[in-house]
Amino acid sequence: MLLRAILCLLLLVRVTASTNGESTHDLLSLGDTALTMGHSNEAVQYYEQGLERIHNDNDNDPTVNLLTELSLYTNLATAYSAMGQDHDAIAAYEKTLVAYKGSRNEIVDTAVKLQADEICAQAAFFLGMVYQDLGKPKDAAEAYQKAHELDPWHWASMANYGAVLNDEQQYQKAVTAYNTAYDILMNPEHKPTDPPAEPRFILSQLQYRIGLCISQDLEQTCVLEDDPEKTVSCQQLATHAFSLAVEYDADNESAKHMLATLTADATVDRASNSYVKSLFDDYAANFEHSLVQELGYTGYERLRRGFDKALGNVSQVPVFAKVVDAGCGTGLVGEQFRNVSQYLIGVDLSQAILSQAVKARPGLYNETVKGDVTQVFRDYKPIDLIIAADSYIYFGDLVPLFESMREGLQNGGYAAFTLENSNAENEKLLAESTPDWRWQLTASGRFAHRQEYVLAVAQAHDFQLVHYEKLNDFRFEKGVGVRGHIFVLQKTESREDQQRICK
């Protein structure tokens, strides 16, 4: 296990002691030097001599003696561990903890208490690792918990505790432990104990492991740890964890793989209406500024240009009697198609965004409707033109959408819409792992679609392709251009209609 291998390196590095007792201090230092040079046998002798001297010497300050004693036991155990004498190591680590348990309440100096806590936390942590190596998960778990109890900033004990729980298939508890380690490392106000040399690597590993635990049962609904009132799909939560893992470490191939497989043709087939509604209700006031000015969104005007190309050129675009702007937002697309719409209906799930559209572009729409586009297409049939920019990205499975477009549009009517495509690297991964992928839930919570899938669904629902165009960089996320598609389709007579006419 990668995380564990890295943590094991700490074993020889952490050697703590502070004492005024000259001779025991010397013995401790001599032992530490021998240990770091790999002379474990020699180190054992120094530490044992030191312990003997402490136990026979009653003149020194007992608290100073205690710190030295704790260090001697801990480092003695570490030397045994380096020699492969696991049972001796366990006995010595346990002695550290027992010695401290008996004296902790007598320590009045808080600085000394803190130091002793740290030494013992480290001893408990190492003890946990030995137990883990010996295949004793219960003892290991107890030791890691003890380490964290003594030193709440001991991220590594929580990371290893998570690994033990994961091996024991206690996935929920494992997520809590991993999250604790993650929170310690992310806390800007307190330095973690023994911070990792490469924090982004460790953060990536932690998120990857959180993702794996959550992925154990994707059918479930997950509860957010910091907001237990909120439930989300485990699929979304795992996707979030894997994408964070990739964000921290772009070379985390396992996380990349999990992200690709989890999100391609995932069991999530569309974003829930309540999710989309609350997203855009919250976003409404700042929506257009954020989308156009900050994210460089151009999908709305490029959809109109694509539509003109589809019909030949601008002069050949007729005026359509009834046009539905599906997922209209604040009216950016509606404005582009106003001059070819006799009666323009703006539809959106979010009332806040519809109000914003009316406020920002009074009179643009002849009518605004709050509702799900799939229902509105049916309620407002026959429709001559459906336009949808950046709104079908909340559907994964396009079948229900095409069923309702087929029902709502008249024969010969058009549907012009944009969709997202997967990013280039992901597309390559998918080509290897899932070549016939249909849709992919992206880390942003939206869906990307494969061109061939969209065309297959279109054909199956009596739509023919009039125009296709790549829509690269139509929006920017963290400075990276998002790839997309423009589709202009025309509804043909359905096979049923044709059969009816023939009869």
Ligand X SMILES: C[S@@+](CC[C@H](N)C(=O)[O-])C[C@H]1O[C@@H](n2cnc3c(N)ncnc32)[C@H](O)[C@@H]1O
Angle (CA) 104-15-40 rounded to 5° is 120
Residues contacting residue 214 through CB under 8 Å, at least 6 positions apart: 171, 175, 222, 234, 237, 238, 241
Work out whether strand 367-370 and strand 227-233 pair parallel, antiparallel, or are unpaired: unpaired
Which is closer to ligand X, CB of 135 or CB of 362?
Answer: 362
Rounded distance between C-alpha atoms, residue 403 and residue 196, angstroms: 54
Return d(Cα 350, Cα 446) in angstroms, integer: 17
Cα–Cα distance, 400 to 403 (Å, whole number): 5
Torsion, Cα of 423, 425, 426, 429 (10° steps): 160
- Does the protein bind ligand X through residue 420 (CB under 6 A)? no
The CB-of-349 to ligand X minimum distance in angstroms stands at 4
Residue 397 burial (CB count, 10 A): 17
The rounded distance, in Å, linking the Cα atoms of 391 and 337 is 16
363: left (phi over 0), alpha (psi -120 to 50) or beta: left
How far is it, in rounded angstroms, from Cα 479 to Cα 407? 40
- Main-chain phi, psi angles of 378, to 5 degrees: -75, -40
Q: Which is nearer to ligand X, 148 or 277 (CB)?
A: 277
Of the pair 21, 331, the CB lying nearest ligand X is at: 331
- Distance of closest approach, residue 327 Cβ to ligand X, in angstroms: 3
Q: Is residue 244 within the footprint of ligand X (CB under 6 A)? A: no
Write down the residue that tokens 């009216």 correspond to: 331
Quick one: 205 or 330, whose CB is closer to ligand X? 330
Q: Does 177 help bind ligand X (rule: CB under 6 A)? A: no
Among 348, 384, 420, 462, binds ligand X (CB under 6 A): 348
Q: 44 vs 349, which CB is nearer to ligand X?
A: 349
Q: Cβ 454 to ligand X, closest distance in Å? A: 17
Q: Is 390 helix (H, G, I), strand (E, B) or coil?
A: coil
Residue with Cβ nearer ligand X (166 or 404): 404
Instruction: Indicate whether 471 belongs to the interface with ligand X (CB under 6 A).
Output: no
Closest CA relative to residue 361, chosen from 337, 377, 340: 337
Task: Read off the amino acid at residue 18.
Answer: S
Q: Where are the alpha helices (DSSP H) in 215-363?
A: 234-248, 253-263, 273-283, 287-288, 299-310, 332-337, 351-360
| Nearest distance in Å: CB 281, ligand X | 8
Query: Which one of 350, 356, 421, 423 is in contact with ligand X (CB under 6 A)?
Result: 350
Backbone angles phi, psi at 221, to 5 degrees: -100, 135
Which of 353, 385, 441, 488: binder of ligand X (CB under 6 A)?
353
Which x/- pattern, by CB under 6 A, does the window 296-335 give for ligand X? ---xx--------------------------xxx--xx--
Q: Which stretch binds ligand X (CB under 6 A): 61-69, 164-172, 207-215, 347-355?
A: 347-355
Query: For ligand X, which is the closer residue by CB, 117 or 390?
Result: 390
Q: To the nearest whole angstrom, how small is the minimum distance from the Cβ of residue 397 to ligand X?
A: 13
Residues 382-401 that bind ligand X (CB under 6 A): 389-391, 394
* 163 binds ligand X, rule: CB under 6 A: no
Binding mask 247-286 for ligand X (x = CB under 6 A): -----------------------------x---x------
Nearer to ligand X, 147 or 324 (CB): 324
DSSP string, 457-489: HHHHTTEEEEEEEE-TTSSEETTEEPPEEEEEE
Nearer of residues 15 and 388 to ligand X, judged by Cβ = 388
Task: Find the part of the chain contacting ligand X (CB under 6 A) among 62-70, 114-122, 343-351, 433-441.
Answer: 343-351
Say which DSSP state 436 is in.
T
Stretch near ligand X under the rule CB under 6 A, chosen from 115-123, 157-165, 168-176, 346-354? 346-354
Q: From the CB of 431, what's the least distance to ligand X, in Å? A: 28
Nearest to 121, CA basis, from 79, 155, 86: 155
Q: Is 21 in the site for ligand X (CB under 6 A)?
A: no
**Pairing outcome for strands 480-481 and 476-477:** antiparallel
Smallest distance from ligand X to CB 400, Å: 10
Q: Which stretch binds ligand X (CB under 6 A): 22-30, 125-133, 345-353, 459-467?
A: 345-353
Q: How far is the CB of 274 from ligand X (least distance, A)?
A: 11
**Binder of ligand X out of 347, 385, 430, 471 (CB under 6 A):** 347
Total of residues contacting ligand X (CB under 6 A): 20
Identify the bridge partners of residue 419 per DSSP, sorted by sequence position: 485
CB of 297 to ligand X, least distance (A): 7
Residues that bind ligand X (CB under 6 A): 276, 280, 299-300, 327-329, 332-333, 347-350, 353, 372-373, 389-391, 394
